[in-house]
Structure 1
Amino acid sequence: MRLLRGLRVLHSLGIWFWLALPLLGLSFWVSSGLMSDRILSRPYGTVAQLEADTQLEVNLAVTILVIKAEIYKKQGFTKVEVKTTKSALTKLEFQFPVTEFNQVESTIAQELGLSLADIRKLVRYQVVY
């Protein structure tokens, strides 16, 4: 009984309702696709230009434990390893194109922003021939 009543309600809506429903869905699908394509392909202006050629300078407050300098005389460079404490940054590594002790100390002092006296207290040398 209920089935017959449901069929009568569907039949009373008419064929035009059932034909219009897929056309309505198709029109929504096509229009939303065109609208999203237009929005996503629209160019956006940048507020500021990106600069990729600049170097970033970071100043960190760290406590230095020891500075280990390995001087490679034949190759003509010094590899420096700085160990720190109480920081997220526990080790720094540098490579300098100098092999003399005074030059190494002044270069490390300049790089770390410390005095020569502080560097001389912390640095340990190893000469590799």
Structure 2
Amino acid sequence: MKKLSPQWLKFLKSLGIEFWLPLPLLALSFWFVGGWLTQKTLSSYNNDAVKLQASQPEYQYGIASIKVEIYPKKGISIVKIKKLSRTYTESKMFLKTTDIPFVEAAIGAELGMSRKKVRKMMRYRRQGTVNSEQ
């Protein structure tokens, strides 16, 4: 083996080899530690996001909106239900009641949903009064 002459040593020092030689080792150590921390962090979470998405009524039942028009003088309510599919489909229900809890219960029974889920999706409008509610 050849010994490095003083000229080669001066040339290597001029390149800054003392600085550049440990950089690949530092990069590899950051890469391994970063990968380990990422794996540790991501594996500690459970799949709560999947549970939350499945519990949303819009996705589970395919309902876009429920609009209720209440006619207190006539004693009826007209319910318009927009369902999500490849296209919007709208269906109507005519109810012989203007009492909101009974309207919610009837819609929930028709759609197979609880009153609480129906209540979150409903929009009301009273017909025949000066102040319209929405």
Larger Rg: 1
The TM-score with structure 1 as length reference comes to: 0.50
Higher helix share: 2
TM-score, normalising length: structure 2: 0.48
